[in-house]
Amino acid sequence: MKDILYIVVPCYNEEEVLPETTKRLKEKLNSLIKKKEISEKSKVMYVNDGSKDNTWNLIKEIHEKEPLFTGISLSRNRGHQNALVAGLLTAKEYADVVISMDADLQDDINAIDEMIEKYKEGKQIVYGVRSSRKKDTWFKKTTAEGFYKFMKFMGVDIVYNHADYRLTSKKILDQFQNYKEVNLFLRGIFPLIGYPSDIVYYERSERFAGKSKYPLKKMLSFAFDGITSFSVKPIRFISSIGLIFSILSFLFLLYILISKLTGAIVISGWTSTVALISFFGSFQILCIGLIGEYISKIYLEVKERPRFIISENLEENRKERI
């Protein structure tokens, strides 16, 4: 019995790239099936993340024509990470092993062979890691690499230069299901699950067509989410700074008292008083804001709202028809 592979691809307004992605993934799956690496029941599962263009109709058309392709549709746009979770948790019901990748062909699909090889050696998670970022713009490269370094500094265990191109076995996904957080940062969760894992290097290419759905603003908020979902270092940092300032202000108090007693004080000090008040005032607001970020995360988590709602599942339609 060969293992069933599902390739999960989140799609948001991807009508421009889907035909080419479909062509290339079809070739890849067929060659793997022919080489008897995977079962002929293997499939590509597109996840339509509430696209506003023709993406879902296209997915349905592809599904009708090609038995190797299936899809699910979310009830509205929920963002890349939620779409991915929806796809992974749905695919694991049909598959033994799942690979997640982007729709825009930036992830080199030839790395799939090596991922499957490692899986056969017993690895339960195989991370796709970009060997270089030659094709990224200077800005994207610098911000992205800075992001990984900052995350490490903040104590978040992530694989350097790994995004969400990854192989996971069903065993891993069964465990992953228990991570019910709504503030999702998947590349931080998988290393927490454990089990033997490995890395496959690949060259990240340019987007095949269409525009990036991750503008700078979304990227920054994603990075911030990653830090506050996985690290309490910022809060500890505030406590340490608070301690340092307390010591400093105590020393300052001593200085004032001594100056007073020795009669060195004339009526001056207005500037330093105002400077200190405004400095501590703004610093306190900053700290309260940061703590507020954590509280807002708790607020979102306790509600336990569903992370996604699947409005259509082509896989199930097929079963009903049979």
List the single partner that 10 binds among ligand UDP, Mg ion, none, CB under 5 to 8 Å by kind: ligand UDP
Residue 106 within binding range of ligand UDP, rule CB under 6 A:
yes
Residue 108 within binding range of ligand UDP, rule CB under 6 A:
no
Phi, psi torsion values for 67, nearest 5 degrees = -65, -15
Phi, psi torsion values for 112, nearest 5 degrees = -60, -40
Task: Give the Cα separation of 174 and 300 in Å (integer).
Answer: 24
Which is nearer to ligand UDP, 10 or 188 (by Cβ)?
Answer: 10
CA 254 remoteness from chain centre: 50
**Interacting positions 199-258 with ligand UDP (CB under 6 A):** 207, 212-214
Q: Three-state SS for 129?
A: strand
- Residue 105 beta carbon to Mg ion: minimum distance, rounded to whole angstroms: 9
Size, binding site for Mg ion by CB under 5 A: 3
Task: Give the Cα separation of 283 and 243 in Å (integer).
Answer: 14
Task: Give the Cα separation of 238 and 18 in Å (integer).
Answer: 47
CB under 6 A: which stretch of 64-72, 102-110, 125-133, 152-160 binds ligand UDP? 102-110
CB under 5 A: which stretch of 51-59, 95-103, 108-116, 182-190 binds Mg ion? 95-103
Which is nearer to ligand UDP, 60 or 118 (by Cβ)?
Answer: 60
List the single partner that 136 binds among ligand UDP, Mg ion, none, CB under 5 to 8 Å by kind: none
Task: Give the Cα separation of 319 and 314 in Å (integer).
Answer: 9
Which is nearer to ligand UDP, 9 or 125 (by Cβ)?
Answer: 9
Element of type H or E holding 117: helix 111-120
Cβ atoms of 203 and 131 within 8 Å: the answer is yes
- Residue 300 beta carbon to ligand UDP: minimum distance, rounded to whole angstroms: 18
Which of 13, 106, 197, 228 is in the footprint of Mg ion by CB under 5 A? 106
Which amino acid, one-letter code, is at 140?
K
Which of 5, 6, 12, 58 is in the footprint of ligand UDP by CB under 6 A? 12
Question: 311 CB contacts (<8 Å, ≥6 apart)?
Answer: 73, 74, 75
Q: Three-state SS for 12?
A: coil
Task: Give the Cα separation of 51 and 54 in Å (integer).
Answer: 7
Which of 14, 104, 108, 164 is in the footprint of Mg ion by CB under 5 A? 104
Residue 103 within binding range of ligand UDP, rule CB under 6 A:
yes
Question: 308 CB contacts (<8 Å, ≥6 apart)?
Answer: 74, 75, 78, 82, 83, 85, 86
- Residue 78 beta carbon to ligand UDP: minimum distance, rounded to whole angstroms: 7
List the single partner that 103 binds among ligand UDP, Mg ion, none, CB under 5 to 8 Å by kind: ligand UDP
In the complex, the residues that contact ligand UDP under the rule CB under 6 A are 10-12, 14, 49, 77, 79-80, 83, 102-104, 106, 207, 212-214
